[in-house]
Amino acid sequence: MAASGIDNELVEGVRRFVAKRITPYTAAWNRDGRAPDSVLAEMGEMGLFGLLLPEEYGGAGCNLSTFIAVVEELAAGDGGLSTLVHVHGLGTAMLLARLGTEAQKQAWLGKMASGEVIGAVCLTEPSAGSDLSAITGRATRAEGGWILNATKQFISNGARAGLVIVLAVTDPKAGSHGKSFFLVPKGTPGFTPGKLERKMGQHTSDTAQMHFENCFVPDDMVLGAVGEALPLTMGLLSDGRISVASQAVGMARAAYELALGYSRERTAFGKSIFDHQAVGFRLADMHAAIDMARVYTRHAAQLFDEGKECAREASIAKLVSAEMAEKVCTDAIQIHGGNGYLNDYRVEQIFRDVRVCQIYEGTNDIQRLIIARRIREQQL
């Protein structure tokens, strides 16, 4: 497979799995607030938790283009499960693969590739979200390691996580060079998952507070160089934004397909509502918007796979895809009429699930800020 190609056989296998094992059950899982562990075990057996990891650590060695194509399929089946894989695969496992020591990688990546250990990244705090320079959680020096005190919020995979990566201030006077990453396994004294958040959507993706109170982290669990967390990762955000864009495309696609099916079955004034121009034109716009967002998102992923600078393209992909998806889901509800407002119909769930795509991995306003800066710098 070429560096910028998609493993279509893998993606098709995921599509079949989603159609059989996820889509028929997503409504029930979202009512229960959790996908069964057995389904996650099947996903682990398929290698979905280690897609991006190198083969020597049990991964599949896929490129980003293949990863986001898989994420689109998962998102079309259940938005929350796609977030689980996104956060685990990109946010945690790949961050460890990029910054970890060989000992850290040998200890954890195999378990993460199989899904035995689910990962989470603890960045956001109650008073600091998009602006990571504002975090206040501290790690102070102690004999043989660090004492971590922090409260983290909105942590995806927080309840399931067997290993978390925590960002904390290690030198308050050093600015962007005063923050460090720490690996903290589940069960570490002083590390306590907090309450689960009650959310608008994506109920199969658990989101929790995480508390670290006088939590001792040994020196060999520092991830990357002390004080260099932000410089090391600021250039690694593009892949996450491209992945969220693909999530949005997947959810929009699912809403469109449901609306298309409904429009063919529902009749009004003696013919299917699809054959009424108002509905047919709306579906045409939805179809075109999804296709355009997918093409641009995969263009950004290809640039990433080729090692090219793509921060602007990643921000455009996320901005355009997330806003497209919300509009498509709104139109899908409109085509369903009153039924679309009922949670008996899945378009209502997808509408709630997709809204967060404009918020996480950097809000869409942050994406506009990034694009504006590139316009100024490059005079595009």
Name the residues annotated as catalytic.
Answer: 361
Using DSSP's 3-state secondary structure scheme, residue 199 falls into coil
What separation in angstroms does the CA of 337 have from each of 26, 280, 290, 327?
Answer: 22, 15, 21, 15
Are the CB atoms for 122 and 210 separated by under 8 Å? yes
Q: 181-218 b/e with 16+ CB inside 10 Å = b? A: bbbbeeebeebebeeeeebebbbbbbbbbbbbeebbbe
Question: Which residue in 380, 369, 244, 237 sits closest to 310, CA to CA?
Answer: 237
Say if residue 301 is exposed, middle or buried (CB neighbours under 10 Å; 0-12, 13-18, 19+). buried
Q: Is residue 122 a contact partner of residue 152, using CB atoms and an 8 Å limit?
A: yes
Range list of H helices, 306-345? 311-336
Q: Residues near 174 by Cβ (< 8 Å), separated by ≥ 6? A: 227
